[in-house]
Structure formats: C-alpha cells, structure tokens
Amino acid sequence: MGQGRTYAGGCLCGAFQFEVEGPLTNVRLCHCDLCRKANGSAYSANCRVPREMFCITKDEGTLRRYESSPGAWRVFCGTCGSPAYADVERDKDHIRVRLGTLERGAQAEITAHVWTGSKAAWDTIDDDLACYEEGAG
C-alpha cells in the first residue's frame, strides 16, 4: 500500500480481518432503510476508499455477499453477521468500508448525514454536519 496510516479492522468473531490505508475522509452517516436494517442501528458510517488501499489479511471463508440493490453488494461475516464493506458495481475502483469494523483509535473525517429523508422517527440528528434528504454527490 502507499504512504498513509494503516488501520486494522475485522468482524466480531475474528474470522475476517483487513487493513485499510487512510486518511479516512468524506465519511457519510447513511440513514437509509437498507443501512439501518443491515447494521441494526440508526445509521451506517461509511468511508469510500480506493480498492488498492484495502487489503484482506485473514479470511476463513465466512464472508458472504448480499445484493441489497441492483449492482450493490453488502459483504458481511456469515458466522457473526458483522458488516464489513460494500462493493458497488458502478464504482469499481472503490469499496465502502464500514467504520464500526475498524480499531477504536481509527481517525476519520465525518462530513455529512445522507438519506435523512428515510431516517427512523426515533433518530435525532443534533450536530452541525451537512444533512441531505437523499444521497450527496
């Protein structure tokens, strides 16, 4: 990989581990129905990273792929269910890492809330980040 800081990540059971090279910028907190359901939380923290900055360091064969919408696959551990990353056909040079899978000390720049038009009624956004009813370009 290149010159940035490298962060370790992995699933809850440890069957899948990876490294991603930062900086981790332009992180978006996605409140869409799919991200909420896939993560069991109010939103998913996603960072789009160049594919060459992502390296799988351990794979015990538990990774599963689910096509949640045409051309978009969510990759997760089939043993513990941890979401790992997303792979989007129309953006082949990047993947979207789920920041919750990274080590606690990982530094990331959160820039916006997206798909707030479909956020859960119980979810309150109380920060000064940009909010977009749908996705942001």
For 124, residues 6+ apart whose C-beta sits below 8 A from its C-beta are none
Reported as a single tens digit per residue, the pLDDT across 34-50 is: 989 988 899 999 999 99
CA angle 29, 33, 38 (to 5 degrees): 80
Domain at 6-126: CATH architecture: Beta Complex (2.170)
Residue 79: CA count within 13 A, CB half-sphere? 12
Does the pTM of the predicted model rise above 0.75? yes
Reported as a single tens digit per residue, the pLDDT across 10-66 is: 999 999 999 999 899 989 999 999 989 988 899 999 999 999 999 999 999 999 999
pLDDT for 137: 55
Domain extents in the chain: 6-126
CA distances from 65 to 19, 23, 77 (A): 19, 26, 9
Strands 108-114 and 130-131: parallel
